[in-house]
Structure formats: structure tokens, C-alpha cells
Amino acid sequence: MLAHRPIYLDCHATTPLDPLVLEAMLPYFTEQFGNPASAHQYGWEAEAALEQARRSIASAIQAESAEILFTSGATEANNLAIKGVAEAYLAKGRHLITVATEHSAVLDPCRYLQTMGFEVTILPVQPDGLIDLDQLTAALRPDTVLVSVMAANNEMGVIQPLAAIGKICRSADVLLHTDAAQAIGKIPLDVKAMQIDLMSLTAHKLYGPKGIGALYVRRRSPRVQLAAQLHGGAQERGLRAGTLYPPQIVGFAKAVELGLANLETEAARTIALRDQLWQRLQVLDGVHLNGHPSQRLPGNLNVSFEGISGQALLLGLQPVVAVSSGSACSSTRTQPSHVLTALGRAPELAYASIRFGIGRLNTAAELEQVATATLDTVRALRTANLASDLTSAR
């Protein structure tokens, strides 16, 4: 066993379970283990816990409890939202709009729908990662049924202007879906003020358990229709079959409650740590920040380094820090990040990128260690590459 573990800076991939979340979950593994659908005391206890959790999660985004459907995670929620709307609104049209920097859990369902005869417009982003609202407006058509725009990007942390997007979509009578997996509990979310119709959520990016998520579905003004994508039971208003899992759902709600209780202070703390790291890295030449400098998640820093291999940098940093080059769902990819190339980054620069995901447990002392290790590793790799180039030129 290693004498010490690397500093964990991959909080966009996942986060550790908060001890208070585990404490809330434990009774539902052993003492209150009933099936929430059962008509007896054990079932009623589980059902009561689920409904309290539903209220807590709804409150976090200014929704109603009946508008929260539990899923296995944000990927399932995205699929249910996108495919469910597409199937339910066939009479209106077969056109959807999304963004080039979306997670594959949004882009892949859209590509699937294209094979089924739907048309998908994929909007580009500006060099700072934000969409152009005029381009969105121009892309809307009479047969557009859904716009899907991520609240906060999982790689570069950029926060899209959801309120402005919601206003545009509502004026055009088009539904708006947002993947808020990275945003919940980190930035304020208000489905009413932002005029969002569907919102995908997950627990494990917020110190909650893996394997549990939710989909917000607006019930009035307008009432959103969905076609079920998972059949086999009447759970979740018949839109998502399967026995609900009380321990995970209770843990999800507790994680959200804890995140909201400390949202402002934790955001300020992680922004300070992020800025500390970025300031240290800028002593290097050829260092590029990916995404908007301030309109991004508090704990996100995505940086490209000229003249090195990103994989070599990751390997060099492994003894000191656990980070990634992008989405954990694409960690084995052989192509550069589609998010960074959408910003206009050249493939070789997109390959040489690191996503630092700062979290609740990180300290200023740790960030100083990470900065020093990163500077030393980048300099060593550049020196080695220069020596290799000189040898090849002889």
C-alpha cells in the first residue's frame, strides 16, 4: 500500500461521500428497508422518507415535489428528457437544438434521434465557451420541440446564461432542458426564474452517493409531456419503472441540503483556491485558460500547456495529484476533447490540457503542492522534448 495517496483534484468526475450523508443513509439499509410501493408499515416508512427527499431536492431548485422524478443518474435523466420529449411531441415537429460542448449523455441521445429521422442543430460556442444567444434565436424553427443547454460544463466549468436562454425558448414556445449535474449545490438554480422546463441532476458530484439522480419535469405553464423510456412498473408517475432505492434517495437529498447550506461560503473559498493555482501556473509561458475566466464553476480550472503531451503530464503528476484531462466518461478516448476543440483549440493543445476540479476537502497548502508539482513537471517535459528535438535535428 502507498504511504500516501495523491491529492484529489478531480471533483468534476466524482466526489467522496460526505460522512453526514452516509449517516443519513444507514438506517435505510437495515432498519427501514421497506419497498416504498408496499402497503404496510415498512413500505410507508420508506415512502415517507422518499417524499421528504423529493421535497428537499425540489426546494433546492424552486420546484414542486411532484415535479421531481428519481433516476439512476444524470445520464438516464438526460435520455428520458431528450428522447421522452422527442417522442411525446411528434405532432409538433422533429427538430432539436443543442450545443457542441455538451456531455456525451446529451449529444449521444441526440445522435440516436437523428437515426430515427429527427433533425438536430448543434450550436457552436464562442472562444470563451458561451453560446451566442443570437445564433440560438436564429436556429429556432416552428418545428423545434426542445433546446438542451448544459448549465455548467463538466470539462471547462463554463456557466451558460440560463435565464436569457429560458426567455428566448419561452417566447418561441419551445421547451428548455438543462443538464445541471455539475451545477446543483454549487451555483444558484431557479427553474421558475430561469424558465427551465426539464433539469437533469445527480448526487455524486455533490458528495452524495453514486447511482442516483433526478429529472425535474415542469407540471404547469407549460405542462411538459414525456414518453416513458423505461417500462415495467407504475413508479414515478409511470415515467420511470423500477423499485426506488431509499438509501440513495435519502443520501441525495442530504447532499443537496448540505451543499445549499454552505453554497456561498464554499463558492468563495474554492474560487480563492482556484485563483491561487491559476496565478502560480501563469509564471510559465504558453499556458492557456480554457473557458470564460469568471463565468465558470467555482472549483474549475482547465488549462492547456504548449509543447508537452497531456498524457505525459498526467503520468508525471500522478504521485502528487489525481487529476484528469477531461470527462471521466471519455478518459480512454484517442481523440482530443470535443469541448476544447469547440473553443477553437488546436488538437495538439487540446491534448495537452488538464482539468483541475477543486473540492470541499482541498486546502491552500495542497494547492501550493499541486502548483509546484505542475510547474516542475511541465518544465521537465519541455526540456526533454527540446533535447529530443535537438537530437533528431543532428
Taking each helix axis from N to C end, the angle separating 41-60 and 246-261, rounded to the nearest 10 degrees, works out to: 30
Q: Rounded to 5 degrees, what angle do the CA atoms 89, 84, 58 make?
A: 115
Measured in whole angstroms, the distance separating CA 377 from the mean position of its chain's CA atoms is: 29
Residue 110 annotated in active site? no
What 3-state DSSP class applies to 335?
Answer: coil
Q: Which helix (H) or strand (E) holds 12?
A: none
Q: Rounded to 5 degrees, what angle do the CA atoms 172, 174, 180 make?
A: 125
In angstroms, the Cα distances linking 224 to 86, 88, 146, 250, 344 are 12, 9, 11, 26, 36
Count other C-beta atoms under 10 Å from residue 220's C-beta. Answer: 8
Catalytic residue from among 11, 110, 169, 329: 329
- Whether 206 contacts 213, CB under 8 Å: no
- Whether 46 contacts 34, CB under 8 Å: yes
Which positions are catalytic?
A: 329
